[in-house]
Amino acid sequence: MWKNKNVWILLAGEFVAGLGLWIGIIGNLEFMQDKIPSDFLKSLILAVGLLAGLAVGPLAGKITDQVSKKTVMLVAGFVRIISVGFMLLAIETGSVWWMIIFLVVTQISASFFFPALQAAIPLVVKEKDLLQLNGAYMNVSSLSRIMGTAVAGIFLVIMSLSMLYIISLLAYLGLFILTIFLTIDEAKTGETNEDGAAPASIGFKELFPVIKGVPIVLMTLVMTLIPLLFLGGFNLLVINISELQDSSSIKSWIYTAEGVSFMLGAFFVKQLSEKFSPHTILFFFSFCIGISQAMLYFANVPILSIAAFLLFGFAVGTFFPTAATIFQTKVPKDFHGRFFSFHNMLERLIYQLMLLLTGFMLDAVGLQHMTVMFGALSLTMTTIFYVKFRQLRQVKLPLYEKNG
């Protein structure tokens, strides 16, 4: 796998794009902090971009299934480069409206780029290497997040905000150039529907019978919502733990612990997959996620709060690559664009809902009671799905095959 140039292009591209993305995010926050006094208004502005991305999701998925994944990635990458110009205009004029246009265009570009990228991954390596590549890809993504935020923080001290976005622009340009050298075999499988039309030509709604027809995909899709109970309000949790312990330094310890642990989980997932089945990994680490949430009842104790984030980081670092591999191997390739577009839409929507719910619950019941409730919900959901999984095995339903 490591001799495959496409693997290195995808990983290098993700690292470069991640740097540009997180440098831009820090720049967005800096600009809004200077121009917009209301936190609620800030959240509304950020939500506009999200809604734009959700709105074009179905179209993005359909187009990704109809045309070359590489073409979609190139066009989306070019649009992302152009979008930075709107943010430079916003800085130059001091206009929030230009920033809103920047956010909308950026989110629309991402709605096309990421489903195409996820659909391209199983086309560049053999199926046996998918889990290892997914783990490596998520490690690179995590590393770019850590380095991007750190670099942006340093650059804001030594250069102007405009220069920060120019660096982000150069990163996106680097991604575009790397994508040009990508070589993908996109030969169609030849599947057709009852009317004789290729699956890529039918509507977005036709994806749902496909998902329902592969129980392990449907189960995994719903189970991926469990980590979002934690991730949606992650930053709010960290802030509240810092206030509870009256310690500013605990924030850096938590972020470091979670980030390093995540990378370790993604690194060791390949070895775990050689000893355990994918569903065993999913259920076990889903339980671990629930336990890590419940552990934050003791968030006032520094060592236990750090331990909770260590457990959570390793669990999601193992959980997400396994789930991604199941999606890439069990969903028919002709539906990959629409499926990953739908998956990204679902994650973005739930992420935002959980952000709002976390804020409400923190005000209503407090950090410690909220985390116990979320932990209990995660454990209950995991138990229900495990029981359902055992029932399906007992009646010998084809968990991994498309039902006829």
Render pLDDT for 216-242 as a digit per residue (tens, 0 to 9). Answer: 888 888 888 888 888 877 777 877 888
Asked if pLDDT for residue 243 goes beyond 50, the answer is yes
Report the distance separating Cα 171 and Cα 190, nearest Å: 37
Do 178 and 311 share a domain, yes or no?
no
137, 73: one domain:
yes
Number of structural domains (the chain) is 2
Asked if residue 197 belongs to a domain, the reply is no
pLDDT for the residue numbered 400? 45
Distances (CA, A) of 79 to 57, 82, 86, 268, 282: 16, 5, 11, 36, 36
Residue 196 has pLDDT above 50, yes or no: no
Residues 241 and 283 both lie in one domain:
yes
Please give the mean pLDDT across all residues of the chain. 80
Q: What pLDDT was estimated at residue 293?
A: 93
The confidence score (pLDDT) of residue 374 equals 92
Q: Alpha helix locations (H) across 159-214?
A: 161-180, 207-212
Same domain, 170 and 213: no
In a domain, 198, yes or no: no
**Which stretch of 35-39, 103-107, 280-284, 350-354 has the lowest confidence by average pLDDT?**
35-39
pLDDT tens for residues 128-171?
777 777 777 777 776 776 677 667 777 777 888 888 888 888 88
CA–CA separation, 295 and 305 (whole Å): 7
Least confident of 178-182, 227-231, 346-350: 346-350
Within the chain, what is the greatest distance between any pair of CA atoms?
65
Is residue 66's pLDDT more than 50?
yes
CA atoms of 2 and 4, how far apart (whole Å): 5
Q: What is the pLDDT of residues 87-127, one digit of tens each?
A: 999 999 988 899 899 989 988 888 888 778 878 887 887 87
Flag whether pLDDT at 197 surpasses 60: no
pTM value? Answer: 0.67
Classify residue 403: in a domain, yes or no. no
pLDDT in the model for residue 204: 59
Angle between helical axes of 367-394 and 336-364 (0-180°, round to 10): 140
Residue 20 token pair: 């540009």
Q: In percent, how much of the chain has pLDDT > 90?
A: 15
Same-domain status, 87 and 131: yes
The answer to whether 168 and 20 are in contact (CB under 8 A) is yes
User: Do 176 and 213 belong together in one domain?
Assistant: no
Task: For residue 258, give the H/E element and its range.
Answer: helix 249-273
Angle at the Cα of 130 (from 174 to 255), degrees rounded to 5? 65
271-275, 291-295, 302-306, 352-356: which has the minimum mean pLDDT? 352-356
Asked, for residue 54, whether it belongs to a domain, the answer is yes
Last residue of a domain, one of 150, 184, 218: 184
Tell me: do 178 and 264 sit in the same domain: no
Does 157 share its domain with 272? no
Same domain, 113 and 220: no
Rounded CA-CA distance 301/71 in Å is 51
Residue 190 has a pLDDT of 42
CB-count burial class (<10 Å; 0-12, 13-18, 19+) for 21:
buried
**What's the domain range around 267?**
205-398
**CATH classification at residue 384:** 1.20.1250.20
Q: Per-residue pLDDT for 311 more than 70?
A: yes
Q: Mean of the pLDDT values across residues 292-298?
A: 93
Number of residues in the chain: 404
C-alpha 17/C-alpha 81 separation (Å) is 11
160 contacts: CB under 8 Å, gap ≥ 6: none
What is the C-alpha to C-alpha distance for residues 199 and 339, in angstroms, rounded to an integer?
Answer: 12
Interhelix angle 96-124/69-93, nearest 10 degrees:
160
Confidence of residue 344 (pLDDT cuts 50, 70, 90): confident
Q: How far apart are the first and last CA of the chain?
A: 34
Tokens coding 104: 């909308």
Handedness of CA 108, 113, 114, 119 (dihedral sign): positive
Say yes or no: 242 and 379 in one domain: yes
